[in-house]
Amino acid sequence: MTPPATVVPETAQDAALRVMQEGGQPRLTALRIVILLVLLMAAQAYDGSLHALSHWFILGLYGLGTVWFGLGERGRSRSATAYSWAGTGLNAVLAVYVIVEHMLAGGGTGEGADAVSRLPAYLLLLQTGLSMQVSHTLLFCAIVTASWVAAFLVGLAYPGLFPGLNGDAPMQVIGLATFVATGLLVIDGVTRLRRAVDRTLEVERERGRLARFVPNAIARDLALDAMGLHRRHACLLILDIRGFSALSQRHPPGEMVAALMAVRAQTQGAVAAQGGMVDKYIGDAVLAQFITGTAEEQARAAAACALDIQARLAAVNARRRAEDRFEIRTATAIHAGTLLVGVFDDGVRAEYTVLGPAMNMLARIEVRAKAADLAIAASEEIVRLLGGPFATPFRPHPVPGTETEHGALYTIDAES
């Protein structure tokens, strides 16, 4: 009983390569047909040459071989890999045969015959390159080049073996050099394409991992920037409901939850409108980040978001006053800096977040904002990115009495 073929697990790169190869099958089939037609022409190119019979033999062998190996390459088993290598070897042997056969036939029988004798080597090179296997293309070029050089040297050493080589030697050198140059170009192209495919797959895999935690557009931007954990500039915003604990003592849980959900909904809407994302909810606080675009664009988005949140909450409070419910007062702090960004996975729980000194500074700014009774507090770094104090349209201006070793706080007003 024949044991079943061993199936090799398919990686993402292998899957992409397989799809590309399957997509290239029509082109490969067309190339094989062209090569067969060229060989048919080559069989008649020597006008009575004794080598014409061997052309028909090789033509039949190539036709049967390509069909056999083409069928064997289907699937992902180890035997399919062996068929693929064997098919590459067959292509190389055929290219070498046609070139050497032309030398044995006398060479120099005309530019048309020369072209016909060398064209299969180029067509087979392209066919091998379309397999998207760099190692196969290298093997093909190495076999053909080494055999061509060896045949040429043998012909120079034994002039009688290749009757017309003396007069055809310059053309053989040009033909060989052209083939080597073409081979290098094909190998370079295939290598670049494989690298591009691998890079695309890495980016897509990282995007898919990040998309579990962040919006797809931001996930793609982060994935294009770097793989895994990396340092990146970001602007951070944290919003906290003032006196939430005290309010919880005076109002029913349902009412407090409704107020909290209203704040979260309005903050989420304002953050999304500016291209940011809510990182996490921490009790009655909301942490958001603006991580795409330039540092200046991030700062403008964070400042616009803070102002938008205040406008949205003003509308919410107007409705709450009409319903004789307590007003929601918040403190918002914004800061900027370089952070460690990515998905942190301890094997039990994975979480996307940002880490770094800027996070610690943001917490200090929030505490100072509450102490100074500020609705919006911005750090000096945010103000610098906005264009300095009193820059439009946000008009940041310093808050007296908030100066510390970490700098002064600024508040932001929308330009009237």
CB within 8 Å of 156: residues ≥ 6 apart: 165, 169
- For 242, the 3-state DSSP assignment is coil
Reading the chain (416 residues) residue by residue, the pLDDT tens digits are 444 544 444 454 455 455 444 444 556 666 666 666 666 665 555 444 445 566 666 666 666 666 665 555 555 555 567 767 777 887 888 788 877 777 776 554 445 455 556 777 887 788 788 777 888 889 999 999 999 888 888 888 877 777 656 566 777 788 888 889 999 999 998 888 888 877 777 767 766 666 666 666 666 666 656 555 678 888 999 999 999 989 999 999 999 999 999 999 999 999 999 989 888 888 899 999 998 889 999 999 999 999 999 999 999 999 999 999 999 999 999 999 998 877 766 667 766 777 888 988 999 999 988 888 889 999 999 999 998 877 777 878 888 877 777 778 898 876 54
Residue range(s) in the chain whose domain bears CATH number 3.30.70.1230: 228-412
Q: Report which of 210, 235, 237, 236 is spatially closest to residue 221, judged by C-alpha positions.
A: 210
Q: What pTM did the predictor assign?
A: 0.58
Return the sign of the alpha-carbon dihedral for residues 93, 98, 100, 104.
positive
Q: What pLDDT shows up at residue 52?
A: 55
Residues in the chain: 416
User: Which residues are CB-contacts of 290 (< 8 A; sequence separation ≥ 6)?
Assistant: 234, 235, 236, 237, 274, 275, 276, 298, 299, 301, 302, 305
For residues 377 and 372, give the distance between their C-alpha atoms in angstroms, rounded to a whole number. Answer: 9
CA pair distance 205, 277, nearest whole angstrom:
21
Contacts of 348 (CB under 8 A, 6+ apart): none
d(CA 141, CA 128): 10
Q: How far apart are CA 219 and CA 168, in angstroms?
A: 61
Residue for token pair 């700014």: 365
User: Which two three-digit tokens encode residue 369?
Assistant: 């904002």
Contact (CB, 8 A) for 95 and 121: yes
Predicted confidence at residue 96, as pLDDT, reads 84
Q: What is the pLDDT of residue 2?
A: 47
Distance of CA 70 to the CA centre of its chain: 31
- Give the CA radius of gyration of the chain: 36
- CA 59-60-61 angle, to 5 degrees, is 90
**Token code pair at residue 172:** 């053989």
**How many Cβ atoms from other residues are within 10 Å of residue 244's Cβ?**
18
pLDDT tens digits, 337-390: 998 877 766 667 766 777 888 988 999 999 988 888 889 999 999 999 998 877
* CA-wise closest residue to 302 among 318, 286, 284: 286
Distances (CA, A) of 40 to 63, 150, 252: 12, 26, 92
Domain 228-412: assigned CATH number: 3.30.70.1230
